[in-house]
Structure 1
Amino acid sequence: MSSSEEEKLLKEAKKLAWEDRLSHKNWKVRNDANIDLASLFHSITDPNDPRIRQFGHYFKKTVADSNAAVQEKALDALIAYLHAADADAARFGKEVCDAVVAKCLTGRPKTVEKAQAVFLLWVELEAVDAFLDAMEKAIKNKVAKAVVPAIDVMFQALSEFGAKIVPPKRILRMLPELFDHQDQNVRASSKGLTLELCRWIGKENVKSILFEKMRDTMKKELEAEVVNVTGTAKPSRKIRSEQDKEPEQESISEVVGPGPAEESGSDAPQEIDEYELVDPVDILIPLEKSGFWKGVKATKWLERKEAVGELTKLASTKRISPGEFSEVCRTLKKLITDVNIAVAVEAIQAIGNLARGLRTNFSASSRFLLPVLLVSTI
């Protein structure tokens, strides 16, 4: 095709509907359409502009373009769209994030960089769940080249937005399988993300939750570096809804000045309860399989003690899934007054573990257990 024919094609293509331009068989038409789309979004200053609502559904296809140059321009258009849009765009977050993970993380360095910028903008628009869901898929990619940018962008998201916006619990759940990855770059990025978690939720929380799931070599490497983690982490970037509040807050602070309590509070480290960081564990099913119900009715005290000991062990997990524990607690109530002191002590230990693991979900049971416990321990 001659240059004049090409120029004519591009000129005629501009008359087509956006959908036709973005899916045109000629890559230069698609490229030109994405450039124009980016320009359109750059010209929009009001997030309520009705034109923004028209384009969200296009991006899951445009970012998956088979032509690398067009794909990069599609990411430029998507970035411009996310800058122009408001939180309403979050409804497209899942499908677009999934498409970016599937098609953009193994591309050219500039493409990967723009893909990461896209993910951070989705976080800014409060589509955090869509972002982390996509990351869970990304880290399972068999190509290590795609896994490293996923870990790195989670590091960026946590570092920039903080643990209140990017839930550490989701990241903690992903890390164990990455520690054993065959690729050293994946392991190195995972180590960096773990150290960043230490800054946000505390070294002890990270050690308690993750270290038991690591190989000894990785554990030793991290232990040596965790010691050097210092300082209190603070977010450097705000979600869009908080950015909208900034002018009003700044005008108030200009009039009354910052309060001393507010200043000191911002410097305090964020305290996160380890209980909120771990996934609850169902202990009722394994308890049923352990022979607990038969054991607690045994005539021999040792069998009763061993049955309750199995419950004590299962209930020692950091967080227990809520469930129907009323019959378990009624049984423990009887065992508190067992004729054998060893059985009674084991029952009290099991109750303590259940209380710690269930917390508020144990309150109903605690009310009828407490009187017996008080009598037994006096």
Structure 2
Amino acid sequence: MSDSQDFSALPLEERLGHKVWKVRLEAYEQAATKFSNSRNDHDECFRIFNEQGDLLKKAVTDSNVVAQESGLLLLLQYLKFGGNASNVLKLKNTGLISVLVEKGLSSSRAGTKSKTIECLLYIVEISSNGELVVEEILPFLDNRLPKLVSGCVTGLHAIVENFGCRVVQPNLILPKLPKLFAHADRNVRAETTKLTIELAKWMGDALENVLFPELKPVQQKDLTKAFAEVKGRIPEQIRLTRKQQIEIEKQKQQMADEEARLATGNPSNDIEMEDAEPSGQEAAFDPTDLLEPVDVISKLPSDLSNRISSTKWKERKEVLEEVYEILKKAVKPAPKDDYTDLFRIFSKCSKDANIQVVQLAANCVEILAKGLKGDFQRYRHLVLAPIIERTKEKKASLAEALSNALDAIFAVCSLPDILEDTLNGMKHKTPQVKISTTNYLKRCLASTTIYPTGNEINQIMSVSVKLLGDSQEPVRQAATEMIGTLMKITGERELNGFLEEVDDNRKLKVKKVFEEAKVNVKTNPSSVNAPQTKRPNIAASEPPRLNKPKSSMPSTSSTSKRTAPPSTSTNLKANNNNLGLSSSTIPSKRGATSPAKRPDEMLKASTIGRGLTGRSLTNSSIPSSNTKPESVTNQKDKEELEAFRRDKQNWLEKNKELTRRNEMLEHDNLNLKNENSSLLARLENVVKENSNTLLMLKQKDSQINRSSSDLENAKLKIRDLEQTIEMMKLQQKSYVSTQSPQIGSYGSIFHNNSTTSPPSNSDTSTTLGSTPASQTRVNSGELSNRVNRLSIDGTSQKENPESTYKFSSISRSRFTSPQRMVDNTNTFSNHAGKEHPDILSDDDSWRRAAEVTTQLKARIEKMKARSRSGLSNFQ
């Protein structure tokens, strides 16, 4: 196919899927240009892509990298000019977000990667739901390709940086951070650090409490330094979602309408104005709302009550330290649990004689107050008074702990909640309690945002003025600072009556504190009291507003410039009013485009061209008759509005309850999954241990079998040796009994020869030949001892190795075979016959010896046969 061929005549749909990448590239660029030039998001150019979502998916996953980048630009223009929530949902269902993350974020081309991130940001902006994109990114964090993991972390960082934690809940991201910090690739770790720092801007210390226990000390140190640089900065959402943009436009429109009504002198909708004000104020972001509630009660020591009642202060201190560590890790305690018993324990510890116990109890109260927030209200009365009572201690560390606990209590309460206990503390007989409590009230007044009531001001000043005359200067100074702070809220005029009897020097000090004090109350008494007097008279005073000079001045100026025909028409209208007809029919036509201006039009219509003579004498009765239907209408509107508000509140509460239940179920599901995985891991370990144990048992069994066989072999050897010994004993007895006379005489002859002269060579050989016969003369006692020394473990040999050696040598030399014994006997007989023929001269003796020898041979053969048959039977 030649390059000069023109494909522009083909339909756009066919060119988008063409096999030539240049054709696809031109189609992507052409479609993107049409998107940017479209009139609205319902333009015809979007129709084909709205109907066939796979076209955008194929463009994003184009095989050619240049065409792929143009495909991403096509998707970006589509989202920018034609995207809406329904279209984004369709794209998600087609799997476009997943392939966009996989193919775009892993690309090595900077343009492709940046366009992919911008597309993801537009998807979050249009859908107003960060989880829609985050849930698609998270599975790729476990991918083996470091480049893809790094790109996914970069995408998460961009989403959090632009939309913040208001749109993107970090609950899904936080569990992945420890694994990302332990990744082998340094780029992944670097991008994870950037993401974590961005989360720290929104979550603050709550992130450290959740993340740091799972990181290495070195990583904790590096992150602590990085967090210190961004600590204190107010997080700001850079990019708004479509939903937020619509809300801001509505607020601007409401403000413009209010300004227009105020400019015309008719602020007729005070109720709507009150409703609009809170909607324009953005609620303060609380990072703990992003965390899951923690069940603290179940983690407390089971013997807490017994140990806290111990007489030893060390045991009380140790158990409170355990409770403090548990509460410290629980950033968000479960608000639905009952902490009454726990706070009673803290109240009891606040009165303890040991200051370490008191300090730990104050720290625990501070942590729970910050964690429970508004739910702490019901436990306030249990701990506030004991803590105020204990402020008499002067130790710096304890005073600071008590002060922090009191501040944490007021942060979740209001001025009326703590005022009674605080005033009682200011009346305390101990000066230190007076000083600490007065300073506490000063801090509460400086931080409160609600103007105190007249009764509260009276209660505070009645006690404070007495403290100005106290005998101790620190008490007077504390009261001076507190009154000056209160004066900053109320103004000088409100408190001048209470300070009449105070000396001028003290008044000057109060005035100085008043000038330097800083408070958070934005409204003054006049602005607070004005709506209270004005709001009830809106309906009743609406008709008299027509007679105000401010509203009549424009009417007089307009009448001077009017010509005769308009004046006559207005006179007709006036006459109609005098006849009792409703004057609202004609102005309704003029004010149809702006209902808020209808009273002004009525005002102009009723005053144009009318002088004193044009007024009816019964004009005073008309407003009363006209206000009744208006007041009734306003009353009905108010009732309907209140009903709508109640329905809305009920719906919000139900929605909140369902959301909370859903979150609890998800949390339980996650816990069950974790528990299941841990049980599976434990099961695998148990199976491995069981297999190892079975192998060890088999090894032990084989060792036992080998030992048993060795033992049996040893027993057989011992039995053979015993049989041999018994056989030798019988042979020795029979031989000794038959040859004892000849051997005795030969022994005496041999003894005589050995003492007179050494034998010749022939004699030596004869003597050596007779040695076995002489060695066989062993008594039965010696043989018994040697048999007894035989054992399997060789104990006797170990104890006496010399005797073992002797026994072995003797047994080898003395226990000879029967044939050898016969030979020795013959040798002995020949030798004895040559030297002493008289010894063996008796034929009967020699014959008897031969018979005995034959019998011995027969016995030996029988015993051998018996032993062989026994061994064969045993085997």
Which bin holds the TM-score, normalised by the shorter protein?
Answer: 0.5 to 0.7
Instruction: Specify whether residues 324 and 269 from structure 1 end up closer, same or farther in structure 2 by C-alpha distance, changes over 3 A only.
Output: closer
Q: CA deviation at 1:175?
A: 2.0
Q: Which structure has more RCO (C-alpha within 8 Å, separation ≥ 6)?
A: 1
Q: Offset at 1:58?
A: 2.4
2:174 aligned residue (136, 152, 172): 172
Q: Is residue 162 of structure 2 the alignment partner of residue 136 of structure 1?
A: no
Could you tell me how far 1:204 is from its partner in structure 2? 1.9
CA contact (8 A) 2:35 2:78 kept: yes
Deviates more, 1:46-55 or 1:117-126: 46-55
- Counterpart of 2:71, as a letter, is A
Does residue 274 of structure 2 align to residue 275 of structure 1? Answer: no
- Alpha-carbon offset, residue 79 of structure 1: 0.1
Aligned pairs for 1:285-300 (under 5 A) are: none
- Tell me the amino acid that sits aligned with residue 276 of structure 1: D
Structure 2 equivalent of residue 62 of structure 1: 58
**Following TM superposition, by how much is the alpha carbon of 1:319 offset from its aligned partner in structure 2, in angstroms?**
6.7
Between Structure 1 and Structure 2, whose CA radius of gyration is higher? 2
Matched-pair contact (CA < 8 Å) for 2:180–2:189: yes
**Matched-pair contact (CA < 8 Å) for 1:316–1:357:** no
| Residues 1:134 and 1:361: Cα distance change in structure 2 (over 3 Å) | farther
Quickly say closer, same or farther: Cα 1:361–1:179, change in 2 above 3 A: same
Letter of the 1:77 partner, please give it. Answer: L
Q: Which residue of 2 aligns with 1:238?
A: 240
Q: Select which of 75, 94, 110 maps to 1:78.
A: 75
Equivalence for 1:259: none
Deviation at 1:246, TM superposition (A): 4.9
Q: Secondary structure at the match of 1:139?
A: helix
- Label 1:254 to 1:321 Cα distance change in 2 as closer, same or farther (>3 A): closer
- For residues 153-191 of structure 1, give each alpha carbon's deviation from its aligned partner in whole angstroms, at most 9, with x where no partner exists: 322222222332233444334322211111111111111
How far apart, CA to CA, are the structure 2 residues paired with 1:30 and 1:194?
40
Deviation at residue 213 of structure 1 after TM alignment: 2.1
Aligned to 1:375: none
* Count of residue correspondences: 346
Whole-Å Cα distance in 1 between the matches of residues 337 and 234 of structure 2? 41
Distance 2:258 2:99 in 1: 47
1:97 to 2:97 alignment: yes
Query: Which residue of the partner structure matches residue 41 of structure 1?
Result: 35
Q: Please say if residues 60 and 72 of structure 2, whose CA atoms lie closer than 8 Å, have aligned partners that are also in contact.
A: no
* Other-structure match for 1:221: 222
Distance 1:81 1:135 in 2: 21
Q: CA deviation at 1:323?
A: 12
Asked if the contact 1:82–1:121 (Cα under 8 Å) also holds between the matched residues in 2, the reply is: yes
Task: Determine helix, strand or coil for the equivalent of 1:7.
Answer: coil
* Contiguous gaps of at least 5 residues in structure 2: 260-280, 311-320, 345-363, 383-875
Instruction: Give the match's secondary structure for 1:26.
Output: coil
Partner of 1:340: none
* Cα deviation code 1:115-162 (max 9, x no counterpart): 111111112212422111122123222212112222223222222223
Structure 1 residues not aligned, in runs of 5+: 257-267, 302-308, 334-349, 372-378
Contact 2:206 2:288 in 1 (8 A): no
C-alpha contact (below 8 Å) 2:203/2:288 kept by paired residues: no
**Amino acid aligned to 1:27:** V
Cα deviation 1:287-345 (Å, max 9, x = unaligned): 8xx9x99xx9xxxx9xxxxxxx999998876378979979x999xx9xxxxxxxxxxxx
> 1:222-256 deviations in whole A, cap 9, x for unaligned?
11222222533323322234445559839957996
Distance in 2 of aligned mates of 1:251 and 1:357: 37
2:119 maps to which residue? 118
2:332 & 2:372 partners in 1: Cα distance? 5
Question: Measured at CA, do residues 66 and 356 of structure 1 come closer, stay the same or move farther in structure 2, by a change above 3 Å?
Answer: same
The TM-score with structure 1 as length reference comes to 0.66
Asked whether the equivalents of residues 116 and 153 of structure 1 are also in contact (C-alpha less than 8 Å), the reply is yes
What's the CA shift for 1:77?
0.7
For the residues of structure 2 that align with 1:93 and 1:322, how far apart are their CA atoms? Answer: 39
1:1-378 to 2 correspondence within 5 Å?
2-3=1-2, 6-8=5-7, 10-12=8-10, 14=11, 18=13, 20-22=14-16, 24=17, 26-28=19-21, 29-49=23-43, 51=46, 54=50, 57-58=53-54, 61-69=57-65, 70-88=67-85, 89-92=87-90, 94=92, 95-109=95-109, 110-125=111-126, 126-198=128-200, 200-201=201-202, 203-229=204-230, 231-243=233-245, 245-246=248-249, 249=252, 272-277=285-290, 279-280=291-292, 318=330
Give distance in 2, aligned partners of 1:360 and 1:254: 36
Does the CA contact (< 8 Å) of 2:125 and 2:240 recur in 1? yes
1:101/1:254 CA distance change after superposition, 3 Å: same
Q: 1:243 to 1:55 in 2, by over 3 A?
A: farther
CA distance in 2, matches of 1:272, 1:93: 32
2:182·2:189 contact (CA, 8 Å) conserved in 1?
yes
Equivalents in 1 of 2:249, 2:282: separation in Å?
23
Could you say if the C-alpha distance between residues 316 and 237 of structure 1 is closer, same or farther in structure 2, counting changes exceeding 3 Å? closer
Q: Is the 8 A contact 1:37 1:77 kept in 2?
A: yes
Structure 1 stretches of 4+ with a deviation exceeding 6 A read 309-316, 319-326, 352-364
Q: Which has the higher helix share?
A: 2
Equivalent pair of 1:176/1:210 in contact (CA under 8 Å): yes
8 Å Cα contact 1:155-1:193 kept in structure 2:
yes
Q: Is the 8 A contact 1:205 1:274 kept in 2?
A: yes
TM-score by length of 2: 0.33
Q: Structure 1 residues 93 and 205 mapped into 2: Cα distance closer, same or farther (>3 Å)?
A: farther
Gap change, CA 1:355 and 1:187, over 3 Å in 2: same
- 2: distance between equivalents of 1:282 and 1:234? 28
Q: Is the 8 A contact 2:97 2:133 kept in 1?
A: yes
- 2:154 and 2:29 map into 1 onto residues whose CA distance is 28
Identity %: 21
CA contact (8 A) 2:294 2:330 kept: no
